[in-house]
Amino acid sequence: MKKIFLGLLCLVTIPVFAQRLSVDFLGGVSNYQGDLQESRFTFNQGNAAFGVGLSYQITNHLSIRGMGTFGRIQADDRFNRDSFLVKRNLNFHSKIYDLSLTGVYDFLDLSTHRVTPYVLAGLALFHFNPYSTDALGAEVNLRSLGTEGQGLAAYPDRKVYNLNQLSIPFGGGVRFAVTNNIILGFELRLHKTFTDYLDDVSTNYVDEATLLAARGQQSVDFAFRGDELKNPLPYPADGTKRGSPEFKDWYYFTGLTLSLRLPGRGEGSIFSTSGRHGSSRLDCPVNVH
């Protein structure tokens, strides 16, 4: 009876101790691609980013990872080469708070190989809130200004954009097993979004007088900033191109990763170097009659 009870206990507890859980860290750079950034991928105007999460290894090749990542994105027309963009003279900053759930596939088994390339894909929820600065350096929230007529009756097709959105993360990298429990890597994670307003720029200029009457002078000032240049330009006519609505914005994280596998019972510490994948087991009876 005792052996039967111990056998049943093992059936319940072995999966718990055998779970391949890892604590994951990301440290690197965040950036974006949109109407104020000419390059699809660049470190120019990038900012520091970091993330932390948990991974559960389903097989020696496949795992599921949940991660929270924080970064900042920004861009300024004065760094662009296109004269149209330079004269537009817009800029923005935004914090990105990202929660992602991805599947990660290792092409090689790290229990028998030191290095493997990998790919990942999944779903993410993120928060953003674009802002700029005035002449005195004070932060000004751009969404509340409705710089492209969002929410105005005169432009019914322009809705106020949501600051909480879904994105599709995908990418990949290379991982190196330092020990059976410590894995270093390099990763690029791209996020396809469904909004064109990460930078508060998407479509055309609205009528200056209409915007002034509805939202005030500050909204007009931040809708067009070409009048702040050395050779100031007049406010563009209603319908003049301001952005490119046919392409949605992207954000991405690039950097180094560190995974610390949590050892099972009897495996010692995280920093143990014995074995490639240790043993996580109870002293269970081999045969239960």
Counted domains in the chain: 1
What percent of the chain is modeled with pLDDT above 70? Answer: 84
In a domain, 100, yes or no: yes
CATH of the domain at 189: 2.40.160.20
Q: What's the CA dihedral at 131, 132, 137, 138 to 10 degrees?
A: -40
The candidate with the shortest Cα–Cα distance to 125, out of 85, 95, 98, is 98
What integer is the mean pLDDT of 166-185?
A: 96
Bridge partners, 123 (sequence order): 101
In a domain, 266, yes or no: no
Question: What pLDDT, on a 0 to 100 scale, did the predictor assign at position 272?
Answer: 58
In a domain, 13, yes or no: no
Bridge partners, 102 (sequence order): 65, 122
| CA atoms lying within 13 Å on the CB side of residue 169 | 27
In a domain, 255, yes or no: yes
In a domain, 69, yes or no: yes
The candidate with the shortest Cα–Cα distance to 67, out of 59, 58, 56, 75, is 56
Contacts of 214 (CB under 8 A, 6+ apart): 146, 152, 154
Separation CA 125–CA 68 (nearest Å): 10
Which secondary structure element, helix H or strand E, spans residue 7, and what is its range? helix 2-18
pLDDT of 48 higher than 80: yes
In a domain, 18, yes or no: no
What integer is the mean pLDDT of 86-112?
A: 96
Is the sign of the CA dihedral 91, 95, 99, 101 positive or negative? positive
pLDDT of 73 higher than 70: yes
Structural domain containing residue 55: 28-261
pLDDT of 288 higher than 80: no
Higher pLDDT, residue 205 or 6 = 205
Tell me, what amino acid is at 98? Answer: D
Contacts of 264 (CB under 8 A, 6+ apart): 17, 18, 19, 278, 279, 280, 281
Encode burial over 104-139: b for 16+ CB neighbours within 10 A, e otherwise: bbbeeebeeeeebebebebebebebbbbbeeeeeee
Question: What pLDDT, on a 0 to 100 scale, did the predictor assign at position 207?
Answer: 96
In a domain, 51, yes or no: yes
What integer is the mean pLDDT of 197-203?
A: 97
Separation CA 141–CA 135 (nearest Å): 14
In a domain, 3, yes or no: no
